[in-house]
Amino acid sequence: QVQLQQSGAELVKPGSSVKMSCKASGYTFTSYYIYWIKQRPGQGLEWIGRIGPGSGDTNYNEKFKGKATFTVDKSSSTAYMQLSSLTPEDTAVYYCAREDGTYYYSFAYWGQGTLVTVSS
Amino acid sequence: DIQMTQSPASLSASLDEIVTITCQASLDIGNWLAWYQQKPGKSPQLLIYGATSLADGVPSRFSGSRSGTQYSLKISKLQVEDTGIYYCLQHYSAPYTFGAGTKLELK
């Protein structure tokens, strides 16, 4: 079965960077885009962007350009998102998700989320 | 960016009541609309895809409909386990955008 396993919670200082992971299993990693979504505490969901693991093709929400960087390691079926120049506004749970053509390419599978807390 | 205007922001309903949540898209997005339920501390779960299709394992009391650029999620007989926050998502055009969410509680 499709699973997306995300890395653990991070406590980081303002101005620093953080890199989180999303390990995929149960399917051919290079065949589906991986999406990244942000959810601030008590707030709604925000689309950060996506990466195609096979091609390395990326699309970023303009709002997150310069903030987020997507990479993949095909050998380990893992997608990564790095966030830079962190501020308290970056404190959030970050989800990875995968689309599925069976479900009209909606986000059918989600990781459990990585909580990033930015605090001095 | 395509705006998704979701209403109501919160809703309190009784067991077995019919509940309807709507999302209005600012542009034509066709059937590229999904609905999600999120429980506290959990990831969103897919309920409806393609605007009207029920995801696997989702109870049949959930249904989705479309009228032009207005999309609705209906729960025909509210159950205890249906409490949570519901979001719509348009995935027609990047940046994909979510509705602001509807918090559903039991009265």
B62-97 pLDDT per residue, tens:
999 999 999 999 999 999 999 999 999 999 999 999
Q: Mind listing the pLDDT tens digit for each residue in B10-37?
A: 999 999 999 999 999 999 999 999 999 9
Contact A75, A15 (CB under 8 A): no
**Closest Cα of chain A to B85: distance in Å?**
9
Q: Which parts of chain A sit beneath pLDDT 50?
A: none
CB-based contact B94 A59, cutoff 8 Å: yes
Single out the residue of A18, A1, A7 nearest to residue A91, CA to CA: A18
CA-CA distance, B19 to A68, in Å (whole number)? 38
Where do we find the tokens 């310069």?
Answer: A66
| Cβ neighbourhood burial of A77 (10 Å; 0-12, 13-18, 19+) | middle
pLDDT band at B55 (very low <50, low <70, confident <90, very high): very high
Cross-chain residue pair B44–A111, CB shorter than 8 Å:
no
Candidate from B46, B94, B98 with C-beta closest to A103: B46
Q: What is the pLDDT of residue B44?
A: 98
